[in-house]
Amino acid sequence: MTWDKLVEILRPDFLLHHALYGSVVVGLVCPLVGVYFLLRRLVFWGVALPEVSAAGIACAFLLQGFGLNLLAAGGEAQERHLAIAGSVLFTIAAILGLVWLDRRGKGATEGRVGAVYAVAAALSILFVAWNAAGETEMLGLLKGEIVTISDADFRAMLGAFAATAVCFLVFQSEFLLVSYDRDMAVTLGRRVLLWDLFLYLLIGLVISLGVMTAGPLVIFGFLVIPPMAALPWSRGMLSFSLLASALGGLSAFAGFYISYAYDLPLGPVAVCAAALVLLLSTAASELLPRGHRA
């Protein structure tokens, strides 16, 4: 029975192929962001920013309910495009605000991030309360229901994820340098501010599109859990990123398969699958001598 389900979801004409491919891509790309959160000790960003993205989606539906149509497309396409725009704007604005406050060095970083999370959660509820008509659409998007997305929009979303993943891998040395040795980066003539902005832009895009694709719970889980599972086995930034991405993709696929086979909610199952991978990784790293690790 379960083997038949596996064969079914791998067929090209599988009805839920958008949800399957979208989930796996999120699982592959989000850990590329998560490795920077983990190494920079910004794990709480992974909690707050998906909630900020959700607030942006709610705000977009609020504007839609007030009749403010900013895009030329109509129907469901316009709703989705507005939601993406709101998600991206809110997320990038929150990142830039947190970075600016951090550079000023006033107050505790964890406190600021916690405040951002609380405010974003409150705004999400208020935006929906002010526009009850958009509640159904928003809840569907936040749960990652992308089954009805058009093929054109789906290909564009996958293309955006692929482009950001390539940027993280191609410019990894620059991102690593400006993240951990800014003085050396300045000495070497790197434009530190521009590289920082580029990195934060990529982070904002991944989180925003990820929330639209799989929902905030899955994004937070895959920003943190696969990198934690990969960390004991990594011997450099490249191996860390690639292994975290591979574990994230594997967890996403396993989560989708279990969810489909046993009719369970996709998001929680995917996060639990990633947590199981983390548990196995932690147990193996404790049992194996350090010299036997890859």
* Beta carbons of 8 and 148 less than 8 angstroms apart: no
* Beta carbons of 32 and 162 less than 8 angstroms apart: no
At 240, the pLDDT band (50, 70, 90 cuts) reads very high
For the chain, give the percent of residues with pLDDT over 70: 82
Lowest mean pLDDT among 45-49, 99-103, 107-111, 258-262: 107-111
Asked if the model's pLDDT at residue 105 lies above 70, the reply is: no
pLDDT recorded at residue 182: 66
Question: What whole-number distance in Å separates Cα of residue 42 and Cα of residue 99?
Answer: 11
pLDDT recorded at residue 2: 66
Q: Which of 228, 273, 259, 256 has its CA nearest to residue 31?
A: 228
Mean pLDDT of the chain: 82
* Fold entry, domain 2-284: ABC transporter involved in vitamin B12 uptake, BtuC (1.10.3470)
* Beta carbons of 220 and 272 less than 8 angstroms apart: no
pLDDT recorded at residue 45: 85
* Beta carbons of 141 and 54 less than 8 angstroms apart: no
pLDDT recorded at residue 278: 96
pLDDT recorded at residue 73: 47
pLDDT recorded at residue 149: 61
